Amino acid sequence: MRKEKIYKIIVRYLNNEISKEEEAQLLQWIEKPENKKELEEYISMNYFVNKHFIKFKGKISSEEFLNNIKSTTVRKSPNFFFKFSKYAAVVVLLLAFTYFLTMKKDDDQNIERPIIVNNVKIGTDKATLTLDDGTDLVLEKEQDYITDNFMSNGKELVYNSSTNSESSQSANEHITTYNYLTIPRGGQYFVKLSDGTQVWLNSESKLKYPVSFIDGETRTVQLIYGEAYFKVSPSTNHQGSKFKVQTDAQEIEVLGTEFNIKAYKDESFIYTTLIEGKVAVHNTHNYNVLSPNQQTALNLGTNKFQLLTVDDIYSITAWKEGVFSFEDTSLTEIMKVLSRWYDTDVIFVNKETEKKKFTGILDKNQSIEKILSTIYSTNNLNYQINNKTIIFR
């Protein structure tokens, strides 16, 4: 069977449009191991399958194999997807089967081609570190810093481990000094605090934290704005010291855990999502203890919490793994995320376009033009790039 034909059948199957005759042809075709492998590779590059590759492997029947592709709901850690698929770096799907749609001739398209004057750059590892004396250090590729307190290699900032076994008297005399790490639009950065806590910071974020902590005293940091993923060093390693994360509107007390906080200045909710362990999220009116896969959504207008269950943790935490994962997400929300990473502005001329929803994985290391080309090819959404502004018409 010609590849073009079998690929067309695959797409029809994934979209529940396949006939019984075509399904029989597909089942027969994937009986051969080499064809099953080709199907895995085709899907990984040309169709979003929602991280369900785990059941594609192993000795299962062809019918089970197809059913797993279309309907499996296995939930795995973010790292699993990348351990399995060497093709993850080229996944650029927004509910797309770009193989056929991008093969169409231009004269089959009844809309004008996009106008592109592209000055949009892919985001990268970069940040500004503000020291306690007000000095700003620009952290970026090929820029190393080594001081008594920390080292940075342009990708991560690592503080020296604290020797915090001071007596209570010396602790009382201790003067806490703070650093600030600011991530611009188009940036991301990783910092390991002096107590061993690891923090991944997303684009347009700012974190305030002590240069060193005192064992036995509460370890407090402040997410001034933006999004951060925390992997907290347990209190048992620090004489029972609690760990707290403050924002303007809430406080999180960590009971040994990994969690994600999303608190952007231009959004009306603060989202706290627990991945492992336990946290207590509270403000002056409410107190919530989260279990894994639970999330609080704090409405900044009413100052009230909603307690939610999260089915797809991957979509929330994938950004720190080098991808963005969207599940039934509106284009306006997708572009809000992408505009931070690519440091660009977005204008919707046609307001109906904002409401269109997509599901897919976007590799953070590809150009904005490639992403928009996929949207254009699969949905006929006309757009133009004018310097650093994207306009949907």
Alpha helices in the chain (DSSP H): 3-14, 20-29, 33-46, 62-71, 78-84, 98-101, 168-173, 313-317, 331-342, 351-354, 368-379
Instruction: Say how far residue 43 (Cα) sits from the centre of its chain.
Output: 21
Residue 340: what pLDDT?
96
Q: Token match 């994600």: residue?
A: 260
Residue 75: what pLDDT?
29
Domain ranges, ordered by start, for the chain:
3-74, 124-306
Mean per-residue pLDDT pooled into runs of 10, the chain (393 residues): 70 68 86 78 47 37 58 33 32 34 40 65 96 96 92 95 51 78 97 96 98 92 98 91 95 91 96 96 94 96 95 87 82 94 94 83 82 71 89 89
> Which 8-state DSSP code applies to residue 191?
E
pTM above 0.95, yes or no: no
Residue 90: what pLDDT?
30
Residue 267: what pLDDT?
94
**Is 2.60.120.1440 the CATH number for 124-306?**
yes
| Torsion angle, alpha carbons of 43, 85, 326, 96, to 10 | -20
Residue 67: what pLDDT?
62
Phi, then psi, of 16 in degrees rounded to 5: 55, 35
Residue 378: what pLDDT?
60
Q: Reduced to 3 states, what is the DSSP secondary structure of residue 56?
A: helix
